[in-house]
């Protein structure tokens, strides 16, 4: 079946850090000719803006008041996704520790989630061929009517090993503790917590190579397309 003949398909991929979400989502989108959106990058971008502009990220009311100010633009080309804030390329700075340590607190503010969720829905709605959207609340909150929902999991040990491999020289134990702490924060927040949708397909990536995860997800998407 040619991609051109296929109806647009919206794929939601959720799960905690270190499960291979980003790598899988980008590869699947590229392989199937779909757009790609990293929603975590958007939350990092708004957090970067808050930090850069001296907003007190420990004060939810101050964060809420500023949530509408930054202009966040996401490029959805899977092989070269971009993200800018007020015209500035922030793809590098948003991955730095200062942002990473504050993103959960900023993301928990309802006004921030409402703003970013609206942005995400608009991007998904305008994806001509369809889109792979990855995050933590896509299947449950952002796109509850997604054609296919996938929830990636992995053991804390496997996730820490992957993440410390990404963070050069990171201590495995420290990375594991940080992941567990962030999961707890994101899973327990009142607004759109990290959670598996009832109709999501769970894929445990602990013992799978990245290529095996990609193949699994591609198969799921192709089956969904064929069944339409």
For residue 126, the SS3 value is coil
Would you state the pLDDT for residue 192? 78
State the helix-helix crossing angle for 110-125 and 39-52, rounded to 10 degrees. 130
- pLDDT tens for 26-53 read 999 999 999 999 999 999 999 999 999 9
Would you state the pLDDT for residue 14? 96
How far is it, in rounded angstroms, from Cα 18 to Cα 59?
A: 28
DSSP code string of 20-79: SHHHHHHHHHHHHT-EEEEHHHHHHHHHHHHHHTT--TT-HHHHHHHTTSS-EEEE--TT
How far is it, in rounded angstroms, from Cα 61 to Cα 203?
A: 38
How far is it, in rounded angstroms, from Cα 171 to Cα 142?
A: 34
What average pLDDT score do residues 177-196 get? Answer: 80
- pLDDT tens for 58-114 read 999 999 999 999 999 999 999 999 999 999 999 999 999 999 999 999 999 999 999
Give 112 or 190, the one with higher predicted confidence: 112
Residue written as token pair 């979400």: 21
Would you state the pLDDT for residue 176? 80
Tell me if the pTM is above 0.75.
yes
State the helix-helix crossing angle for 156-166 and 172-188, rounded to 10 degrees. 110
């Amino acid at each position: 079946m040619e991609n051109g003949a296929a109806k647009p398909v919206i794929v939601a991929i959720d799960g905690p850090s270190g499960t291979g979400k980003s790598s899988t989502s980008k590869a699947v989108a590229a392989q199937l000719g779909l757009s790609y959106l990293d929603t975590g990058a958007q939350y990092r971008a708004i957090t970067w803006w808050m930090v850069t502009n001296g907003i007190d990220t420990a004060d939810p009311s101050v964060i809420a008041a500023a949530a509408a100010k930054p202009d966040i633009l996401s490029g959805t080309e899977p092989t070269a996704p971009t993200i800018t804030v007020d015209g500035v390329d922030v793809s590098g700075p948003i991955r730095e520790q200062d942002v990473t340590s504050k993103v959960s607190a900023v993301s928990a503010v309802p006004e921030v989630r409402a703003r970013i969720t609206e942005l995400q829905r608009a991007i998904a709605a305008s994806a001509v061929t369809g889109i792979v959207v990855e995050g933590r609340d896509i299947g449950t909150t952002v796109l509850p009517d997604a054609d296919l929902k996938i929830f990636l999991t992995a053991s804390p040990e496997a996730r820490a090993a992957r993440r410390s491999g990404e963070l050069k020289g990171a201590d495995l134990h420290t990375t594991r503790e940080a992941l567990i702490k962030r999961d707890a924060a994101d899973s327990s927040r009142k607004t759109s917590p990290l959670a598996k949708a009832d109709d999501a397909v769970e894929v445990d990536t602990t013992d799978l190579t990245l290529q095996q995860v990609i193949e699994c997800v591609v198969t799921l998407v192709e089956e969904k397309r064929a069944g339409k």
